[in-house]
Structure 1
């Protein structure tokens, strides 16, 4: 078993190399520090002598003996010795030895047991005989490091760093470790691998097929970490000690490592590696865009837990870096009751306040102290996440980390994580304790052993006489597994779902820093914030090291992700609790809306079936719509015909020729017998179903009218002449039996575009107009001014569909679809992307209810797509040739499609 690890060294210490050696045991004077010596009657131990930047370490082969560290700072002398009668030569060596006189040794892991280190503070001479090499291989370097340790701290750090840089600059990647000698090399550079509490130097080699990391020592299990580019799942830029110099690579299941966190000297070096890595053809990552994840959470497609994990990753929090470990909120506030009512808001902590502001009396005292401070002021002198706080929770799972962090000792037994109730009480009352939780409290697939002392570590005895054992759980938890299950249920509860965005604002959002942080009582020590100090500009090495220690110990605020208030999660309508789309109905104040959604075709998309079809046109069908009472369908086509079809059989009721060219779109005026028709002959017509007559209502454009929309006495038309016009028409005027309305009398405004207009949609409120063009751009206009609110370049090909969300009570969102296969959701107020998904289809038309999309595609299929999960729910073969148009009935019970095969089809739920 390999016992030695970098965790046995001091923080920041570098392990260089090791040598086979024989250690001559000093003669024990008593049994205090050297009692294990008597187990070895011959007085010798075989093992490895490791040279590190601040110590020599002897790692014996026999597990009964401890690993022994000899700090250079405690050494009196380190010289070459010669075999004598008291220290005879062993084996075939030349008799030369390394003699170390020191007044301190640190004994670790005796018998392979994790326990506090033993510090022996007695002066002894320790003798090592090297087996396969001479003393000259070790002594010069060890003497140089010893001299550095005798200097004042500032000079010592400078000298050690110079030695480290000199050694690393001579390191080159060993080409014999290549998987294929024919690989094409892209880049070779230096970096540090970061694991909890450890940074280990090495060389990176990037080829066209593989990413390699070769450590500059033999501490790793493998001589080189080899990651095939097809095995790379994600590549994320990371922050380290408040500097953008990190790069984390996440790997797929069968890779040598799960992830690799690398730290570079400069940001430019990190960016070069990132860009070259991302440019390789064999790389196929699964990077999730921030906008998509936020929308998925709001749409309830992912859990609160998964979203918080994602936000932590985006904010440069990594489980590989204890200084920036993922942070999760305290959610429950009740750790004393026998049972919990997760429907009771009183069970929960106020997520709109930081931990330090939950107790008003304590907050008042902190504010008084803050007033008397010099600038920069702060409310909280300790952070909500530091390495010490993380290990406070995880010491039972990773005791070796605590021994490393606290110089070989565990914390005082009464200060350890002994009880969840005590910890909650402390963070809400103690004037210097404001820590939040970590993901392990909510991870159902993680280890619950962080709550139990399964390793039987002796952590000491508390003042009440009880040894530190398992964590004392709340009365409502029967065991550690059930406690995590309850915590997770609480995290996913409706109360937390409705309020979690407030906590996100505090930790990752606009209340994280500055004036808003002060208003929210969320102000920490200034070195906690990115940008508070530029470490790269600090030229004095010792000042820089001191700042790094301060940053580590004070904790680091996550990278700010959001600069505006985070949107709350969507109301639970009972439709989207899983990928299977359970259609159970939640009975609450939104129960009626939930029932309506569950009863509509949107609530049963997987059950959609073809109900009827009709071949009613002589050429491609270009537009379909329902009458406002959902009893009839109107279709128009390239054959210049408009058809009225009855439901549910699609039998033809009326047929009329409109002009001399194709009819591109149609819309029924609510509560009338009038249909408006857009034509390629530049005109807009009206068709009276009552009288069976067609008349020209507008000579609208100088080229084909491609789209139209009627809303509240306002008609909007788009054309291939690159313009959109808004017309003010009284409903009686638009539906009168005869007469032509002149453009000069009725046009309200005109909007110019740089390309032919292909589609448009008017917000139900009538104030926001979205237009899409042939060059892939979308414009948002505020009517009736018209003011251009946003111009968005969102598609690389024609915009083929636009749709406003139709759910009542939810914030306005716009869906755009393009022939490039992209489905995108925009926030019309900010002009920002909310979500984008790339499908593998050329999209021709869409309908949208706020999350679920029905899309007609070039291949003739009707695609049913979930914008929340980014998954295709089902695909129905609808037409031979492209699906050119579709519409959903006002009662949301039916969907109609038209295609290049001249057919119209009705879809719905089979009764």
Structure 2
């Protein structure tokens, strides 16, 4: 099966027949809950009750409720009940009127993926009621805990109404308690689901009484940001509303509950609010550790025996196994139990939106597969006779194997065939004798290689077979119509392949001990979660929104055209994707090729609206397109060459020397066996690997160790790979032209880890040591420390200002202007002893110069304007960028220069060295990338790319521990990223007028950051994004003058800034330098400016820096001049004097 809309519209009677006799759970608004089964079919849905319930005058006191139908495949069918009549008779049967039962979507048994698990629509008296809440609406790492029947009320103060009138405007719905937010789903589907993040609540939710007469307590909280989702039941980009300064909406939200006590909800939300508002920055690992007391009791190995379907059943385990049921982008925690008759999955009270229990009989099991999940051999997938599948991830491989061994011994399961040495040859023979089609054989190989629709990182992969998407007629008799199946996608274009090969040859080798991975041709993969949802965005937009943090991808990057996608796969260096099964399955072709849901997918730069996928001229309709592709897949040409593609994807050319020869070598981490997460004890390191897999996908399991025979070679058979994975080490590239690392330039090596921590490739895994972090330096979840090789020293100027000291002007020695460059300086860095300056300029040069006499010691010319530079901690390497999209690494001892081509798609605006093996770059395209470097050069593909960006990045900094990165953007936003988990953790707008952020700096401890904007704003915020100080300081005629930020800004504005967290030095467009004291009681800007020099340079100051000890200040200007101020030795360091 594949992700597709498999729901059919059926008449009411057909629907009722299909669910006849199935178990039912009903929850009514008066708190009554009961179980039953569906009974007769006379225009009513009759529920035969297990027990009688409270009723008055023959009628139950409820007027509405929820009905849950349990299916054999464990998928929940949920709809609302709204009734006018609910009778009770002696047979203990309740009748729910379905007189207005219109055509309903039907959930068939052949469902194997949650994309098809669309919500059951219940129509009563012509009105459809649909449950819109979905776990996909949660943030990554957020958990759903409980929901409550609730009413939301307007704020009486904001609306100027009495609370009595507010009660008349109440909105009925359900309030969801999640670990990072409240979510309110109104019953009226035209209203959006509202998300209230705890981090945007200034105070903890509390109880409040609005009417003295009845003393009823309501839940009340303030929330400055609200996210709207699923308005009118549509999948649209999430709308985030900032209510802090809104004149049309209140920040106060009031709720009452039908059956729950307000204080119970307040008590449950209090620790979650405290966690979200903690002062320290929490990564995903820290958060889960602190949530353990809340989540732990909800997810246990205790199985409830009362949930057994038959009292005669006997559990085969003393305690259940803690598992996660895996679905695309989701996981459902629960407990797995085996009895002598059935398999049971009991969902935990975490992310539980389904049945109390899912069970299926052993007699329904058709296949069982051991699977890997997130690089661990801990998965088990069970397929049933109705084609549905259940994918469970266990805590350890031992737990998985224990369940597997027990499962295959049960009656009805002992004959089930797993992946073995007999099944593949049997299917190969059927394929060669044409008993099965090419499509069926590829589906089988995908299944045997661990590909499953339940895990988007291992989604089934199919080949491009047609290369002609421009002709009016598809000629399947012409070999030129087809793609060369003997080559991977990355090798189809000779020019692009030459680039990949050149990059491969330039990759450093012999540095595995230092943590650098072996060389590879392709840094991206042919099958990733992003690629799968790229194709299926029109069918499953909610998954794309989940993956893209609530928005669709940019219109120009969406799936718009078949021909355009094919051309991108041929020419784009970052696009190597193959196809998915939907391209060859005619059923439901319209669902993913046409924009049937009228999604707002945006407008391209050519002002073209993105709607339906543009088909080739030879396709008359989506179904015709897929049918012709299927015919091409089954054609004689493909049948004769398909074995060549199988060798690349599932066979002996997948890895090792043959992969190198076939230009088919991918990043090592995508291969099975490259790393075993079960041997990694550090949770932060494990999270980092999992994040990479979620982003880049995995290579299928190796199936064949020798060439796969052609379809016509009936007498040949391949060597089948054993069940246990065999991983061959990729060959290193030829390195004759790359000199070996010299002892003088080689960094110290970390103490080797034990052999159990070595991968099957035969080299040490690039663990956090390879990323510049020492595993042995980790101290618990919150004790992540910097590498043994220390980072650059953080700024600690040590200045203090004596308000009584005169403006003596004799505390600093000023140098004459040095003209290192002929054009504007773009960046400068001082050496630790402040004797040398490293600078870049728009004249295209990088230079190392003496601060004392201005003599240039070393120089290098780039291919374009040099834009930014930084220095390695040992000061042996300078790394700088240029407008030609390159990164250069200059070995200062030898003069050797390494180049990294096409590091970004736009000019690289910033660079920051983290430690002696990693650095960051940012660019105008809004992308932040993490790179590795070593004595022989830089890794040609980034370790990670933060691409969820909405504006160009203008500046960059890293904290002292090398764990957090901060960037400023052209729209006034500042983002903070956790480099341990490769995730964005803070996003805040620091400019009230969305002015460009010129500079941003962490303080020494990393607890606060300081930023300057080109609107003359100086802003100090905590690392959680909370503003503590703000100054709006337009500069005019060399005088400090405070004006409102709503006024137009003068031309004499900030151009650059540097700060140690206590003081900030700014350079302005008039050539002036100003020093500001950031933390004073005074809010008057003229009192915060403690040093000013109106004309330090004749031209605008473009860059400024201060030595780490505060003794030297260096500024660079637009005319290429540099000036140096040095604190006199006799000057008391406790006093900061005025510049001359």
TM-score after normalising by structure 1: 0.59
1:174 is matched with which residue?
304
Preserved contact between residue 393 and residue 417 of structure 1 (Cα < 8 Å)? yes
Preserved contact between residue 525 and residue 576 of structure 2 (Cα < 8 Å)? yes
Counterparts of 2:604 and 2:166 in 1: how far apart (Å)? 36
2:690 is matched with which residue?
548
2:150 is matched with which residue?
21
Preserved contact between residue 207 and residue 263 of structure 2 (Cα < 8 Å)? no
CA gap of 1:171–1:109, structure 2 versus 1, over 3 A, is: farther
Q: Establish whether residue 214 from structure 1 lines up as the match of residue 356 from structure 2.
A: no
Counterparts of 1:161 and 1:345 in 2: how far apart (Å)? 60
Shift of residue 270, structure 1, vs aligned partner? 1.1
CA gap of 1:42–1:464, structure 2 versus 1, over 3 A, is: farther
2:417 is matched with which residue?
287
Counterparts of 2:652 and 2:158 in 1: how far apart (Å)? 64
Return the match for 1:162 from 275, 279, 292.
292
Counterparts of 2:443 and 2:368 in 1: how far apart (Å)? 16
Counterparts of 1:540 and 1:28 in 2: how far apart (Å)? 51
2:269 is matched with which residue?
142
Q: Establish whether residue 55 from structure 1 lines up as the match of residue 185 from structure 2.
A: no
Instruction: Write out aligned runs for 1:187-206 (5 A).
Output: 187=317, 188-206=320-338
CA gap of 1:169–1:108, structure 2 versus 1, over 3 A, is: closer
Preserved contact between residue 157 and residue 542 of structure 1 (Cα < 8 Å)? no
Return the match for 1:114 from 225, 232, 235.
235
Counterparts of 2:616 and 2:448 in 1: how far apart (Å)? 33
Q: Aligned to 1:368, what secondary structure does the other structure show?
A: helix
Counterparts of 1:27 and 1:420 in 2: how far apart (Å)? 55
Preserved contact between residue 67 and residue 110 of structure 1 (Cα < 8 Å)? yes
Counterparts of 1:43 and 1:547 in 2: how far apart (Å)? 50
Counterparts of 1:455 and 1:285 in 2: how far apart (Å)? 45
Instruction: Write out aligned runs for 1:548-627 (5 A).
Output: 548-570=690-712
1:336 is matched with which residue?
470
2:649 is matched with which residue?
507
Counterparts of 2:699 and 2:369 in 1: how far apart (Å)? 18
2:987 is matched with which residue?
none
CA gap of 1:261–1:832, structure 2 versus 1, over 3 A, is: closer
RMSD: 2.7
Counterparts of 1:28 and 1:238 in 2: how far apart (Å)? 57
CA gap of 1:429–1:214, structure 2 versus 1, over 3 A, is: same
Q: Aligned to 1:211, what secondary structure does the other structure show?
A: strand
CA gap of 1:422–1:84, structure 2 versus 1, over 3 A, is: same
1:95 is matched with which residue?
216
2:681 is matched with which residue?
539
Shift of residue 423, structure 1, vs aligned partner? 0.4
1:4 is matched with which residue?
133
1:647 is matched with which residue?
none
2:576 is matched with which residue?
434
Instruction: Write out aligned runs for 1:847-858 (5 A).
Output: none
Q: Which runs of 5+ in 2 are unaligned?
A: 1-129, 160-164, 245-250, 509-516, 723-1140
Instruction: Write out aligned runs for 1:63-74 (5 A).
Output: 63-74=189-200
Counterparts of 1:472 and 1:159 in 2: how far apart (Å)? 48
What is the number of residues matched between the two proteins? 565
1:258 is matched with which residue?
388
Return the match for 2:371 from 222, 238, 248.
238
CA gap of 1:27–1:420, structure 2 versus 1, over 3 A, is: farther
1:326 is matched with which residue?
460
Shift of residue 4, structure 1, vs aligned partner? 0.9
Q: Aligned to 1:77, what secondary structure does the other structure show?
A: coil
Runs of 4+ in 1 over 6 A off after TM superposition: 27-30, 829-833
Shift of residue 58, structure 1, vs aligned partner? 1.7
Q: Aligned to 2:184, what secondary structure does the other structure show?
A: strand
2:88 is matched with which residue?
none
CA gap of 1:57–1:346, structure 2 versus 1, over 3 A, is: same
Q: Aligned to 2:470, what secondary structure does the other structure show?
A: coil
CA gap of 1:175–1:296, structure 2 versus 1, over 3 A, is: same
Deviations 1:413-451 (A, max 9, x none): 221111100000110011111100000000134544211
Q: Which runs of 5+ in 1 are unaligned?
A: 31-38, 572-809, 813-826, 834-911
1:316 is matched with which residue?
450
Return the match for 2:172 from 41, 46, 49.
46
Q: Aligned to 2:150, what secondary structure does the other structure show?
A: strand
2:523 is matched with which residue?
381
Preserved contact between residue 704 and residue 720 of structure 2 (Cα < 8 Å)? no
CA gap of 1:67–1:28, structure 2 versus 1, over 3 A, is: farther
Preserved contact between residue 704 and residue 721 of structure 2 (Cα < 8 Å)? no
Preserved contact between residue 248 and residue 260 of structure 1 (Cα < 8 Å)? yes
Counterparts of 2:715 and 2:208 in 1: how far apart (Å)? 84
Deviations 1:277-304 (A, max 9, x none): 2111143765372221222222322111
Counterparts of 1:541 and 1:100 in 2: how far apart (Å)? 35
Shift of residue 231, structure 1, vs aligned partner? 1.5
Judging by fraction of residues, say which structure has more helix.
1
Bigger Cα Rg: 1
CA gap of 1:315–1:12, structure 2 versus 1, over 3 A, is: farther
1:474 is matched with which residue?
616
1:298 is matched with which residue?
432
Deviations 1:383-430 (A, max 9, x none): 111111101100111111111111111111221111100000110011
Counterparts of 2:294 and 2:644 in 1: how far apart (Å)? 46
Instruction: Write out aligned runs for 1:654-733 (5 A).
Output: none
Preserved contact between residue 81 and residue 96 of structure 1 (Cα < 8 Å)? yes
Preserved contact between residue 251 and residue 259 of structure 1 (Cα < 8 Å)? yes
Deviations 1:495-522 (A, max 9, x none): 1111111111111111112222111111
Preserved contact between residue 78 and residue 98 of structure 1 (Cα < 8 Å)? no
Q: Aligned to 2:431, what secondary structure does the other structure show?
A: helix
Deviations 1:772-791 (A, max 9, x none): xxxxxxxxxxxxxxxxxxxx
Deviations 1:93-131 (A, max 9, x none): x63343333332211111212211111122423233333
Counterparts of 2:135 and 2:156 in 1: how far apart (Å)? 29
